[in-house]
Each structure stands twice: as C-alpha cells, then as structure tokens.
Amino acid sequence: MSTPHDALTRLAETARRDLEFIGETGTDWVPPAPGTDHNVVVVGAGQSGLSIAFGLKRAGIGRVSVVDAAPLGAEGIWRGPARMNVLRTPRVPPGPELGLPGLSFQAYYEAAYGTAAYAELREIPRTVWAEYVDWFRSAAAIAVRNGVALVQVEPQDGHLRLHFAEGGRTFTETTRKLVIATGIAGSGGPLIPAVLRENLSPHLYAHTHTLDPAALAGKRVAILGSAASAFDAAGALLEAGARAVDLFSRGSDLARGSAMKPFSFFGAWEHFYALADDERWQVMRHFRRRASFPPLPAVRRAVAFPNFRIHLDAGWRKVAPHGHGVRITTASGQVHDADFVVAGTGYLTDARLTPAFADFAPAIARWSDRVAAAGAEDEALAAAPYLGPGFELVGRDADAPAFLADIHFLAFSAMTSTGRPVGDIASLRHNVPRLVAAVGRDLFLEDRELHLARFLAPVGEDLPRAAYAAALATETAEAVAG
C-alpha cells in the first residue's frame, strides 16, 4: 500500500528527472580558483538560503556551501520566531522551487495529503509550511552544515577568508562569493526601544523574536506594538495560558490596510530596484509612514480571548520596575501594571551591525549616504544598506574596498533597495534568479581570460570530409565556363 512517504519520494525523483529534461543538471562550468575552498558560501539555510543554493546549482555554479548556525530543523523562522498559526497569504505564491512544478508546495501537499485536501485548503498552517521546506531541502539535494556560525569576514588575495565557529572549535575557509541570507534578524537583530532598554532589567522584557510564551503562563503581559508580530505574540501567549494580555498601539486606530498593496504586480517585483535613488526612497518612506497592518486571522486569534485588550493612543512614555513586574505610563498619563513586557517593535536595518562585518563596517554604504535628506526623514530606514542590482554591498565612497561587491546581502533590510521584504515567500521567484545571475556574471568575468582562451582555442573537426565527399561536384572549370 502506497504511503505519503512513498508519494513524496516519487515526487522528488520526478523533479530530478524534470531537471534533466530541461538541461539543468548542475554541470559545473566555473573553473577552480587556486587558493579557494568554495565559489559561493551561503549563510542561512531557511527558505531563502535553500532556494539560492538550488538556483546556483541549476545555473551550473559548483562548489557551493550552505551553513546555518541553528541545529537541524531549527533553521529559518517557521519553528521559532514565527508564531502565526497560518501563513499570512492564502494558499502560497511560487516559492523556493523557482519554477519547477514538482518541487512546489502544491505538489508536495497533494502528494502528502491528497488533491482533494489541497482543493479545500484556504490557509497554510505554519507547521505544514515548515515541513514542506524540510522536504524541499531533501528533494532538491541541498547539503547544509548545521551548527556552523559565521563570525568574521576577512578579505584576502582576491577572495574572502571566512572565520567560522562550530561547537567549541573555530576554523577558516575561503570563498569567492558570500551570500548572507539570514532573514529578518540579519541586519543587527531585534529592535529594542530605548524606553525598555534603558529602564528595565532584561529579565522583565523580551522581543517577539525571542519570546517563550510557555514561560509566561499565568502572567500579565503587556505588548508594545500593534502590527502582525505583536498580534501573533498575543495569540501565542493567550493560548499558552497567560492570565491577561494588553496590547498597546500609539495610533488612534489599528492600521487596517496595506500601503504596499499597489506594489503587488509583477513589474514592480522585478524592476523596482531600477528606479532612481530618490524615487525608491520616496516610495519606501511612504510605506513606512503607514503602519503595517495586522492580518485578520492574527487579530481574530487574539480577540477570541476575553482576557485580551487593545489600548489605542497609548504609546509608552515611561516604564519602570514595580514590585516584581513593570509599571507602564502611556503618553496620555494612564498607568498600567504588568508582570512582563514584550516588544513587537521590528528589527534593526543596519548591515554595519552584522557582527561578521565588524572589520570593514564603516565602508558599507547606507541609504543615508545616497539620499541627502534620508537621515532626517527616517533614521531607521536610512540605516539600511544601499545595495547594487545583484544585492551586492556597495562602498560609501570611491576609496571603498572592491571586495564589498563579493558580498551579497539578502537579509530583511535589503527591502529599502528592492521595494519588498527580502526572504518572504513571494520574493523568492524574483530575487533569487537576479542574485544567481549576478553571481554567475561576476564569476564569469573574473575568469574572462580562461574563458577567452577557451573560446579562441582551436577546435577539432566534428564533420568528417568523408560524410559529404561523394556529393562534391567534379566538373572542370572549362565545362562550367562552356
């Protein structure tokens, strides 16, 4: 009797055959570079890192290594910081499969649960998507070294020397290209507002990224923020048994629509990066001025609990320890007590804060270096890295080191340069091929002398004269003239 496991195994085999049919078997065309261990190292094995590795393989770029600091099964966000019950998009747009139908979510789900089940599916459970990403990794044959953390990037003799930590040991490897695919926490980590950071002991607060809902069962919890992650955290806390959850929004109402909705067409996804700097800045600043709205399923999940309350016009003016907990004073002077505080306040956006970049961080261009008014208009957005068309880091000035262009940055804060969140499901079909093309182009041009020699070298005869000799005309010149 056939099982879902058998069906998924056959599906993976079919997908591998499909790659053969379209000629994308991973044949490596990149000449080995002396003194390097890898052509490309991808840091991060969530859905972005896996899709990037898959795209590089299909493009015939060999010697690619993928590392992730997390243990097997804990890569990315789906079993960690992401606390929604269902994904925030109905069904799923094309994702890490990069156009290969046999590796798509729909193909996976139908093989595992049946075609009728997929037809009835309206929202994707987060845990099911995590299982799909695990299967994709296996089916696409992407090797990952888990438990390996990048701690330092060092330029050396035309390539990059990478320092890693694994367990209790450190080691170094060299690569020609480095891709950072570390998602929402990849640009310095969670953003903790000064009102919390400067006034509370760390045992009294957490960011939604590091929250442990089960540890707060029976507690009164206050959440600062009113976007998707704040409501996801509220729902998870309430389901874990929190005694009460109060969510505080500084706005007079929740955001109830997406400022980015007009952006959702193919041309914008593909070509936004080609707009002029001031045009991109104007659009991204417009998006930032309108708060991110919480999805309806996240709101319904939280408001289903009678011990959940939303406070509007309630930005936090002051917080202070109070007894064993926290006393909060809002901008209007209202006072609230809680046992614990959660910051649903987003993430830092500055690539210079990436620990591995410490030795050359000041040389990395930010948007404040390209748009004069950026820092005054939106300091957080202005700190985002200014990236080239292939997601490569760019130097602040003409004297910046050339090796920055060999570091491709696909963490969350690449959004300012590209126009949409980098790393979410819908971004993969647009961003990954552009990255792969850029990496391939750079490697090709670096090896131009080898390739030119290859192009201009004498070639053997593939057409033997004997194949057509019998048909050669034998008339003499005089006969033709007559």
pLDDT tens digits, one per residue of 377-401: 998 899 999 999 999 999 999 888 9
Pick the closest to residue 230 from 329, 343, 76 (CA basis): 343
Q: Is residue 80 part of a domain?
A: yes
pLDDT of residue 481: 53
Q: Which helix (H) or strand (E) holds 429?
A: helix 428-446
Q: Is residue 295 domain-shared with residue 414, that is, in the same domain?
A: no
Domain boundary residue, one of 309, 343, 377: 343
Distance between the two ends of the chain, CA-based, in angstroms?
A: 82
Confidence of residue 292 (pLDDT cuts 50, 70, 90): confident
Q: Give the integer Cα–Cα distance in Å for 7 and 389.
A: 40
| Beta bridge mates, 163 | 152, 172
Stated pTM of the model: 0.93
pLDDT of residue 236: 97
Q: Is residue 462 part of a domain?
A: no
Q: Give the integer Cα–Cα distance in Å for 424 and 260.
A: 14
Q: Is residue 101 domain-shared with residue 121, that is, in the same domain?
A: yes
Q: Is residue 175 part of a domain?
A: yes
Percent of the chain surpassing pLDDT 90: 79
**pLDDT(291) > 70:** no
Q: Which helix (H) or strand (E) holds 180?
A: strand 169-180
Token representation of residue 133: 């990403």
Q: Is residue 275 part of a domain?
A: no
Higher pLDDT, 68 or 1: 68
pLDDT of residue 423: 83
Q: Is residue 210 domain-shared with residue 323, that is, in the same domain?
A: yes
| Beta bridge mates, 165 | 149, 170
Q: Is residue 148 domain-shared with residue 43, that is, in the same domain?
A: yes
Q: Give the integer Cα–Cα distance in Å for 116 and 123.
A: 15
Q: Is residue 81 part of a domain?
A: yes
Pick the closest to residue 156 from 340, 449, 402 (CA basis): 402
Q: Is residue 283 part of a domain?
A: no
Residues 6+ apart with CB under 8 A from 65: 37, 38, 40, 41, 42, 143, 145, 173, 175
Confidence of residue 312 (pLDDT cuts 50, 70, 90): very high
**pLDDT(178) > 70:** yes
318-321 contacts at long range (C-beta below 8 A, 24 or more positions apart): 318/195, 318/199, 319/195, 319/196, 319/199, 319/200, 320/199, 320/200, 321/200, 321/201, 321/204
Q: Is residue 311 domain-shared with residue 333, that is, in the same domain?
A: yes
Q: Is residue 83 domain-shared with residue 177, that is, in the same domain?
A: yes
pLDDT of residue 2: 67
| Ranges assigned E (strand) in 334-406 | 335-338, 340-343
Token representation of residue 147: 């438990």
Q: Give the integer Cα–Cα distance in Å for 268 and 262.
A: 9
pLDDT of residue 1: 61
Write the pLDDT tens digit of every residue in 194-222: 999 999 999 999 999 999 999 999 999 99
Longest Cα–Cα distance in the chain? 118
Q: Is residue 318 domain-shared with residue 378, that is, in the same domain?
A: no
Q: Give the integer Cα–Cα distance in Å for 31 and 21.
A: 25
Number of separate domains in the chain: 2
**pLDDT(243) > 80:** yes
pLDDT of residue 261: 76
Q: Is residue 226 part of a domain?
A: yes
Q: Can you tell me the mean pLDDT for 38-44?
A: 98
Pairing label, strands 169-180, 407-409: parallel
Q: Is residue 218 domain-shared with residue 297, that is, in the same domain?
A: yes
Q: Is the dihedral of CA 374, 380, 383, 384 positive or negative?
A: negative
How many residues make up the chain in this entry?
Answer: 482
Write the pLDDT tens digit of every residue in 297-310: 999 999 999 999 99
Q: How many CB atoms lie within 10 A of CB 440?
A: 21
Q: Is residue 160 domain-shared with residue 83, that is, in the same domain?
A: yes
Q: Is residue 277 part of a domain?
A: no
Taking a C-beta distance cutoff of 8 angstroms, is the pair 140, 103 a contact?
A: yes
Write the pLDDT tens digit of every residue in 341-371: 999 999 999 999 999 999 999 999 999 999 9
Distances (CA, A) of 36 to 145, 156, 173, 225: 18, 10, 8, 46
Helix, coil or strand: residue 172: strand
On the 0-12 / 13-18 / 19+ scale of CB atoms within 10 A, 12 is buried
pLDDT of residue 143: 97
Write the pLDDT tens digit of every residue in 105-140: 999 999 999 999 999 998 999 999 999 999 999 999
Q: Is residue 305 domain-shared with residue 221, that is, in the same domain?
A: yes
Q: Is residue 383 domain-shared with residue 408, that is, in the same domain?
A: yes
CATH of the domain at 82: 3.50.50.60
Mean pLDDT of the chain: 93
Q: Is residue 315 domain-shared with residue 377, that is, in the same domain?
A: no
Domain holding 314, by residue range, is 194-255+291-343
**pLDDT(89) > 80:** no
Q: Can you tell me the mean pLDDT for 91-117?
A: 93
Q: Which helix (H) or strand (E) holds 288?
A: helix 277-289
